[in-house]
Structure 1
Amino acid sequence: MPGEILFLAHRVPFPPDRGDKIRSHHLLKRLAEIAPVHVGCLAETDGDMAQESELAEIARSHFLARRAKPLPLAGIEALARGLPVSLTAFDHAGLRRWVAATLAERPIGTVFVFSGQMGQYVPADFGGRVVVDLCDVDSAKFEAYGKQGGPRAWIDRREGRLLAREEERLAHRAHCTLFVSKAEAALFRSRLRSPAGVRIEALRNGIDTTTFDPVAVAPHPELAAEPGPHLVFTGQMDYAPNVTAALRTAERLLPAIRRAHPGATFHVVGRAPVPQLRRLDGRNGIRVWGEVPDVRPFLVAADAVLAPLEIARGIQNKVLEAMAMARPVVLSPEAATGIDARDGEHFAVAAHDQALIDRALALLQDATAAATMGVAARRYVVEHQGWAAMLVPLSEIVGARGAEARRDAA
């Protein structure tokens, strides 16, 4: 037994309804099978706080508090202290006290840090194992934002620069640093100023293929009642890369698709759509649904799922979910990164607007080819991307493989 585990996450890992929470949810479930887990995390909404009973069922002890610090205040603190805003925004005095008490009172052998914002809670004098799941290289994402220009460019460049320092500090602090793909791990290693002694591993995202199964859900009735074709994009719709991708589709891809298919409708499905997206609802074949209780009815009703992201880090859960629902997916190379599927068989990859339009039109005009791609996509996900298979290395990473083997043999 590696001792008990302290799991720190920047968002409560329930419900698993967005990319980071899906990963943290399944990691937490697996860690709870390995050893008693104590969970410290933050909430952003009333819905997050309502998940405390779910958290209590899986955790030996837990701390859940509302992250109430306004972003402008976090920004001022970051400037005053020379820190990334990502750290000051997730700094919570109550959580710090709970972490200190838990480490003092419990036999914690491993601290598992989910997302770089939470590395600040690991005391310098903790002598056990530290595992840091950075998921993807956030500093590279902010650097990419900074290169786009605009009023936030200086802020994004600063965030990228300071986050890169924090990511490297955590990598040297950790027994192992995790990423969602080999490509993301390689990118991180290439950016290190001092790579010696740093252990970096890829622990890929999985997919719940029982929940995301096209036979388990009926198409959304409104989509089923309209001839379409229906094009669907899912995601957190105040997240900048998703906003950019949805606007790209609405403004640059959809008009050409509608010239060939006048009934084509583009459905933007996901919580917190920004005003720029909400204003498009009802115009020129665009529906902006906002938060929905379940994305699966939209996916199963889609003639194609689009993911033309221009900035994407790690593995896109939205792509895996659509593939598991046996939908043909048209996506950018950025959105395909980390998914070892084959272009033309499991999904359709295209880099530029016209190529994306051409791939989408080809699938819309050939229902047999679209269905064949969807079947192949689901088969790929079932065979290669299930969570159980993805998390096999976790026991060794937290130092529990020998203990589990002895327990299983007893």
Structure 2
Amino acid sequence: MKILFLAHRIPYPPDKGDKIRSFNEIKYLSKNHEIHLACLVDNPDDLKYVNPLRKYCKIVNVAFINSKITKFKAIFCLLDKKPLSASYFYSKKLQKAINYLLLTNNYDAIICFSSPMAEYIFKSTNQPINQSTKLIMDFVDIDSDKWKQYAKYTKWPFSWIYKLESKRLAQYEKKVAQIFHYSIFVSKKEAKLFYMQNPDIRNILAIPNGVDFDYFNPYHFSTNNLSQPTTQSTNRPINPSTSYPMLLFTGAMDYYANVDGVVWFCKNIFPQLIEKFPELRFYIVGRNPASTIKEWANHQVIVTGYVEDIRPYYQMATIYVAPLRIARGIQNKILEAMAMAKPVVSTSKAFEGIEATPNKDLLLADSEKEFIEKITGLLQNPEKRKSLGISARQTVEKNYSWQYNLKILEEILAS
């Protein structure tokens, strides 16, 4: 089959949530189909990743958007009825490229990754999209609900803007689902919630994420074979050491949900843990740390910035923490930690959508008190840490194989 794949961000490298999913979909489909990719780039450094994608895509069309300018322009869309997300991820240059692809190709399927990419289909109605072309939307998660959560944790006027975006995006998501033939979500819970909000929509399916078990494998991994981790800001070596207990969080550190959760943890939880465990360290690993994250950096809170290989940090961590108060879908960071056989302490929000058993595969904590109790218990009990880690690894091996989970996408194409 010939497939047009539209993505709101270049799906490479697969080092963060949305890119991990979109890249693995393309990689899987490219084995049996011809993929034409059209996507956006909001970081000029990512332009160098176009060539690696040509291994999987016959055609790669990329349009650069300046995030600062685009955000400014999106503000004027408050006067419009469209969601800001659709305006932010819209590029006239990419629209022209997509129009040409639709004019010169008969596609068997068009896959849009993230709801704003539907705008390119809506604005290409004059192009000859074949009646038999399957329109597949991978919503990933319900973004409108995420904006609703943002509104809860921010002050006016942003709380008002986020609440308005949530309402508009929910209406837009419904419109997309009515027009597209299939609506895909990252978990059964996410798919069920969308159906409850839109009971008239049919063909709502869940395709869970996966984990690269060979790459994230604690049993076939040695930190001795890797270059020493360095900080993004200074390029100086960072030395995670097993000589002291180490908590770990990973993720894009300019992403609001991550920033909110980590600041909450640093402010309200970690100081109380230090009183009990003076040698304890908290590593915050991920690109583009916000200023509010950097403010917490000291000899016990280590902010690394971007790292080439995240596995040394997983390997050396005593406990992985996911203190996210805002979350939707599946948190890949948790799956990776579980694949590395690490004990995980997570909020219920961050755990939502993950097929695992609390108290067997990981621990849940939502309040400051619960986090302190669960982490303290694990730090004092090596056997419990080991048993949780082993069970976690077995669970993700069972439930999160890319090869197995993406068979559903192949079945949709064949239907």
**2:31 partner letter:** E
Which whole-Å CA distance do the structure 2 matches of 1:315 and 1:72 have between them?
Answer: 26
Alpha-carbon distance, 1:348 to partner: 0.8
Q: How does 1:7-46 map onto structure 2 within 5 Å?
A: 7-46=5-44
Which whole-Å CA distance do the structure 1 matches of 2:112 and 2:7 have between them?
Answer: 7
Q: Who is 2:234 aligned against?
A: none
SS in 1 for 2:357: coil
Q: How does 1:204-353 map onto structure 2 within 5 Å?
A: 204-214=208-218, 215-218=220-223, 222-225=238-241, 227-282=243-298, 285-353=300-368
Confirm or deny: 8 A CA contact 2:240 2:313 kept in the other structure. no
Which whole-Å CA distance do the structure 2 matches of 1:246 and 1:225 have between them?
Answer: 21
**2:271 partner letter:** P
Q: Who is 1:171 aligned against?
A: 177
Confirm or deny: 8 A CA contact 1:223 1:298 kept in the other structure. no
Q: Who is 1:407 aligned against?
A: none
**Residue 73, structure 1, aligned to residue 67, structure 2:** no
Q: Which moved more, 1:18-27 or 1:352-361?
A: 352-361
Which whole-Å CA distance do the structure 2 matches of 1:21 and 1:224 have between them?
Answer: 27
**Residue 377, structure 1, aligned to residue 392, structure 2:** yes
Query: If the length of structure 1 is used for normalisation, what is the TM-score?
Result: 0.93
Alpha-carbon distance, 1:56 to partner: 1.8
Query: If the length of structure 2 is used for normalisation, what is the TM-score?
Result: 0.92
Q: Who is 1:405 aligned against?
A: none
Which whole-Å CA distance do the structure 1 matches of 2:245 and 2:313 have between them?
Answer: 12
1:147 corresponds, among 152, 163, 166, to 152
Alpha-carbon distance, 1:149 to partner: 4.3
* Per-residue CA distance 1:82-141 (angstroms, 9 max, x = gap): 321111111111111111111111121111000011110113463321000000000011
Which whole-Å CA distance do the structure 2 matches of 1:236 and 1:368 have between them?
Answer: 31
Number of corresponding residues: 395
* Per-residue CA distance 1:7-30 (angstroms, 9 max, x = gap): 000011110000000000001111
Alpha-carbon distance, 1:240 to partner: 1.0
Residues 281, 224 of structure 1: CA spacing in aligned structure 2 closer, same or farther, 3 A cutoff? Answer: closer
Q: Which moved more, 1:69-78 or 1:147-156?
A: 69-78
SS in 2 for 1:294: coil
- Structure 1 unaligned segments of length 5 or more: list them: 402-410
**2:368 partner letter:** D
Alpha-carbon distance, 1:335 to partner: 1.0
Confirm or deny: 8 A CA contact 1:74 1:85 kept in the other structure. no
Q: Who is 1:191 aligned against?
A: 197
* Per-residue CA distance 1:188-239 (angstroms, 9 max, x = gap): 11222xx324321011011111111113241867555462210000001111
* Per-residue CA distance 1:43-82 (angstroms, 9 max, x = gap): 1223310001012221111201211251443323412433
The runs of at least 4 aligned residues of structure 1 exceeding 2 Å deviation read 71-77, 79-82, 123-127, 195-198, 219-227
1:366 corresponds, among 381, 395, 402, to 381
**2:285 partner letter:** V
Confirm or deny: 8 A CA contact 1:10 1:118 kept in the other structure. yes
Confirm or deny: 8 A CA contact 1:111 1:129 kept in the other structure. yes
SS in 1 for 2:31: helix
Which whole-Å CA distance do the structure 2 matches of 1:168 and 1:237 have between them?
Answer: 31
Confirm or deny: 8 A CA contact 2:138 2:183 kept in the other structure. yes
